[in-house]
Amino acid sequence: MEPVIERMLEVQNLKKYFSVGKQLLKAIDDVSLEVKTGQSVGIVGESGSGKSTFARLVLGLLEATDGNVFFMESIAVQPMKKNNRSMTLRKYAQIVFQNPYLSLFPHLTIGANIEEPLRIHGVRDKEKRHLRAQELMYKVGVPEAYYDAFPHELSGGQQQRVAIARALALNPKLIVFDEPVSSLDVSIQAQILNLLLDLKEQYRLTYVFIAHDLAVVEYISDVIAVMYLGRFVEYAPKRFLIDQPLHPYTNVLLESVPVVGGSLKDVAGRGEIPSPLSPPSGCPFHPRCTKAFDRCRLERPEFIEVKPNHWVACHLYT
């Protein structure tokens, strides 16, 4: 009997800094997060907010500047060590990227792409690999006739289904999705999101779902973390965050969601996100915030719990 794991992922004061010439780019700046087993945690923010860097850090694909990441409570992902690329981590934590064509092996057939993780992890029986690939193709809605096809012969939506099937091959416990539907048509997006919800329930998966579209994140997530310039500015169960947003940036993201019969309000209407190489003083959002006051320009707000399990970094609440 497997031990009960309450926390699938725990991130403690994570930082990732890059040297760009003589400047320091703080891509992720002191971020903490807990993902409970069976949860779907959404991370939302504009391009350039640090979401993809965060995804790679929590899976050990990048080395952190500082901080800790623990997977399944006992596997230390960060700080990385030479012997820290645990096969257990690689087996039980998977990632699905934004562009499925670039993430699949173009010279391998669809069947071989799905079977590749099994081969790497020591499943030598070709028939077992073949049957597993066929099973997963059926689960994700890819016709068996495509088993011997190549990725370029499939549509974008079908390619993403194959990428999802490959992520499922080793029976993972955690899947990180990095903008998995942003390159797809809206109708295909809905199909993929419904598929992910079905798979989560069927396989008892834990998700970290990253996107710039708050409506997409709301649909798939139990809780939502809003990221801006490498830091979380708000975190709450999705219903509280959608119905009672606290941070002005969250309100801007909500305003940008298109409404039936209405028009899309562009987030960029409040100005562009600043460069991480020269972030504003104080609260990084203050140059775009209609509620900013003097303290916002001078002092960076702390991330505090203002309601039960509802956290925000904003001087309006301190």
Fold of the domain built from segment(s) 7-317: Rossmann fold (3.40.50)
241 phi and psi angles, rounded to 5 deg:
-70, -35
**What is the pLDDT at residue 164?**
97
Average pLDDT over residues 79-99: 81
Average pLDDT over residues 51-60: 95
Q: Does residue 86 have a pLDDT over 80?
A: no
**What is the pLDDT at residue 214?**
92
Q: pLDDT of 199-233, one tens digit each?
A: 999 999 999 999 999 999 999 999 999 999 999 99
**What is the pLDDT at residue 269?**
46
Packed helices 110-120 and 156-168: angle between N→C axes, nearest 10 degrees? 20
In which band, very low, low, confident or very high, does the pLDDT at 275 lie, cut at 50, 70 and 90? confident
Q: Are 192 and 212 in contact (CB under 8 A)?
A: no
Average pLDDT over residues 152-181: 96
User: Distances in Å between the alpha carbon of 30 and those of 139, 144, 268?
Assistant: 39, 46, 26
Q: Does residue 265 have a pLDDT over 50?
A: no
Q: Does residue 117 have a pLDDT over 60?
A: yes
List all residues 6 or more positions away from 175 whose beta carbon is below 8 Å from its beta carbon: 93, 94, 95, 96, 167, 168, 205, 206, 207, 208
Average pLDDT over residues 281-291: 94
